Structure formats: structure tokens, C-alpha cells
Amino acid sequence: MPDYWQWHKTKSMNIYKEIEAEIQAAAHIVITAHKSADGDSIGSSLGLLHFIEKLGKKAVVCHPDKAPDFLYWLDTSSIIVMEEDPEEVTAQMKKADLIFCLDYNATYRLGPDMQTLLEEATCKKIMIDHHLDPEDFPTLTVSETTTSSTSELIVDLIEQSGHLNLLDEKIGTPLYLGILTDTGSFKFSSVKPRTHEVLAKILTAGVEHYLIHEKLNDNNTESRLRLQGYAMSEKLEVLYDHNVAIISLSKEELAKYNYRKGDTDSLANLVLSIKGMKAAIVFTERDGIMKISFRSKGAENPVNVLAKEHFNGGGHANASGGMSDLTVVETLEKLRELIPQYFLKKE
């Protein structure tokens, strides 16, 4: 049997050289990523943007919505946001001759407005992603579902297209951020030996990793900490029969603590730190719907099926998202009824 890593490298080199050729041939490149921006979607977009610029080409980044506040230390000024400037995003998408689709596997992940623009675009499209079950709309697809993050795949693109010498601090900083956030600070099972090899290349390029950790973790607002404290002390419901916990937050509760985008992002992982906990579910009432975050531990406790079958969502086996158009109380009751079907009762 051939060595897996050698096979993977050879396979990837072929497609990554094709991607480089498409970059070189394009006159107007647009980089897109999924709605509800996170560290990996932002990091992979900016890392790819700066790499394309190093190749002597120009590109623009168009995202459905703004980055969370806790990522504002990163320079996101080059990102054009659909919810803020729909006319400019529309213009950029319509004149694109190459569109990158980063960190999403289906067009609906862009939100309805950008989804329409993407589906109507007749230009070439390149998907680089690590989520399960990719759609077949792109011209070229890099779908590596066992890879830690899309940011790691952008490093693969840089290296395996023959341009590792171009990797520098400007390119590497957002890519390190993307890997860091999508691996839960390198603690998820998606972290492989290859991930650490990629991180070593980023650090060798001059990225100061400790500063990224500080900027990411040491920029809490008082209101964010108070909201998280309230959620843990007053809204945490632990179903000990199944070792699953739920936190629900209404729009009134969020407003009371001056909620800003990203303030609840770490709650599910915090709940998972409870000894013996199999899964954590956090949902918040925003924009008239319940936005749900599912997190779990171990291959025996997947949450993506629950998200897909009942909450119009999906994602990774241990990290998925979904939504509900029921009320807070109704959504909570629905989850209580479903949990016994998806998580074995503790013996």
C-alpha cells in the first residue's frame, strides 16, 4: 500500500498547481466565505488574499457579514461586507472571472443574497473546504474533511504550488488564527501530525504566535464576561442521564448584557469542560430565529446528524450549527425530547 502522506501530497500538488494557474489567468478574483464569520473563514480569506497579492495579482474579499468583535484586532478593512455594502459586493461578484469559495460546502452557507449572486455567476469557481458532503457546483474542488481547517489547506496551496518562499508574517498570521480557532487551540481530534508541520512552517515565516493568543483571548469586555457568567450560573441545564448540557439565551437576556457578535462563541466549549460531559448545545435568539451551536466529544457522540435532521444545519461530527424558528421555550423542549434519541443514557 502506498504511503498515505506521499499519495496525498502528490494528489494535492496536481490540483494546487491547477489553482495557481487559474489565479494567474484571472483578471478579477473574488474570495468568498460563509455567513456567520469565524476565525477560519476570516483567516483563510485574508491568508489567500495576501498570497494572491504576493503572486502579483489582485483580489477582493466579499463576505456576507462582519467579523465578530473579538477578531477586530486583525486588519479586516479589506473585506467588503454584503450586509453593509450590497451594491459593491454585487458589482464585484458580477464582474468576477474567478470566485474562491472558502470554508463552506454548499451555496446556501453564503446567505440568500450572496447565494443568488454565486449561483448566477458563470465564471470559474474554486472550493477549498474541510466540511462533509460538498456540493458539486465548483469548477475545482479541494475537499479534505479530515484536515483541521480551511486555513491549513491554504498553507497546502502555498507550499504545494511551489511558493512556500512567499509565506511571511502577513500571510501567516491570519492562517495561524484560522487553525488556532478551528481546532479549539489545538485540542480537537482534527489536529494531525501534518497540522503541526504546517504550524512550524508558519512560525518559521516569522509569525509571533503568542501575540495571536493574547489578542484573541485577552480582549474580553466586561459585558461579555458578565453575559457568560449569567449563562453559566442561571441558564445552564445539565441532563445528567445523558451527560448533555443546554444553554438558552433570549433576545432580552442578550440585550441586558449588551450582546455583541461573538460574545457567546466560547460557551459551548466551556460547558464541555465539565467532567464527563458528552455534548453541549447553546442557542441564542437573534434576528427572529434561534441560532444553535452544537459541540461534542468523541466519535461516538456526533452532533452533525442531530443538527441536519432537526435544525436545518450540519457541519463536523463534533462541531455543528443549526437554527430553529420556534420560540426559546419550544426549542428548548424540542431539544429535551430529541437528546435521548441521539445520546445513550448513562449506565
Q: Please state, for a pLDDT cut of 90, what percent of the chain lies above it.
A: 84
Check: CB of residue 61 under 8 Å from CB of residue 45: yes
The end-to-end CA distance of the chain, in Å, is 42
Handedness of CA 42, 118, 153, 308 (dihedral sign): positive
**Is residue 5 predicted with pLDDT exceeding 50?**
no
For 286, the 3-state DSSP assignment is strand
Question: Which one of 3.40.50.300, 3.40.350.10, 3.40.50.1980, 3.90.1640.10 gives the CATH number of domain 4-216?
Answer: 3.90.1640.10
CATH topology of domain 222-342: Diaminopimelate Epimerase; Chain A, domain 1 (3.10.310)
Q: With CA atoms as reference, report the closest residue to 166 among 44, 50, 43.
A: 50
Check: CB of residue 154 under 8 Å from CB of residue 175: yes
In this structure, the number of other CB atoms found within 10 A of the CB of residue 216 comes to 17
Average per-residue pLDDT for the chain? 93
Confidence of residue 226 (pLDDT cuts 50, 70, 90): very high
**Is residue 10 predicted with pLDDT exceeding 50?**
no
In this structure, the number of other CB atoms found within 10 A of the CB of residue 97 comes to 15
Rounded mean pLDDT, 244-266: 95
Q: What pTM does this model have?
A: 0.85
Q: Residue 23 has what pLDDT?
A: 98
The rounded radius of gyration (Å) of the Cα atoms in the chain is 20
Q: Are strands 236-239 and 319-324 parallel, antiparallel or unpaired?
A: unpaired
What is d(CA 283, CA 45) in angstroms, rounded to the nearest whole number? 27
Q: Hey, where are the domains in the chain?
A: 4-216, 222-342
Q: With CA atoms as reference, report the closest residue to 267 among 240, 234, 239, 314.
A: 234
